[in-house]
Amino acid sequence: MGLTSGVYFVQSGAFIKIGVATNVVRRVRDAGWAWNPHEVLPLGWIPEPDGDEAYTLERRLHVLFTEHHHRLEWFHAHQSILDYISAHAKSWPKAEWMAPQVWGNRL
């Protein structure tokens, strides 16, 4: 898989999750299937090969968007967060998101 460690952004309904993972594809797959009853749309990701840097960036983003915080790593889908993602995150390649090897027999 081309997406490895970094900070990821996914949207589910009126909320955006700002998270970090060492395997972004697996984490977002789990977000969409394992622990979220709603559809999950991957918005983008910021690669950070060093796990410590990824966690530092995630914490900075949580502080930056504190006023839109909902609970845990979920934030209200405010335009300022969407603008940040648009300006700083890489697009999520559809091939990575929809690849059968990511989803196994779930599709």
State the amino acid at position 16 in one-letter form.
I
For residue 48, what pLDDT is reported?
Answer: 84
Q: Residues in the chain with pLDDT < 50? A: 1, 95, 99-107
pLDDT at 16: 95
pLDDT of residue 1: 44
pLDDT score of 64: 98
Which residue ranges make up each domain of the chain?
Answer: 6-106
Task: Name the β-bridge partners of 76.
Answer: 15
Which pLDDT value is given to residue 50?
A: 78
The pLDDT of residue 103 is 42
CA distances to 1, 10, 55, 58 from 38, rounded to whole Å, are 25, 12, 26, 23
Q: State which H helix or E strand residue 44 sits in.
A: strand 41-47
Quote the pTM value.
0.80
Residue 34 confidence (pLDDT): 60
pLDDT for the residue 23: 79
The stretches of 1-107 forming alpha helices (DSSP H) are 24-33, 51-64, 79-88, 94-98, 100-103
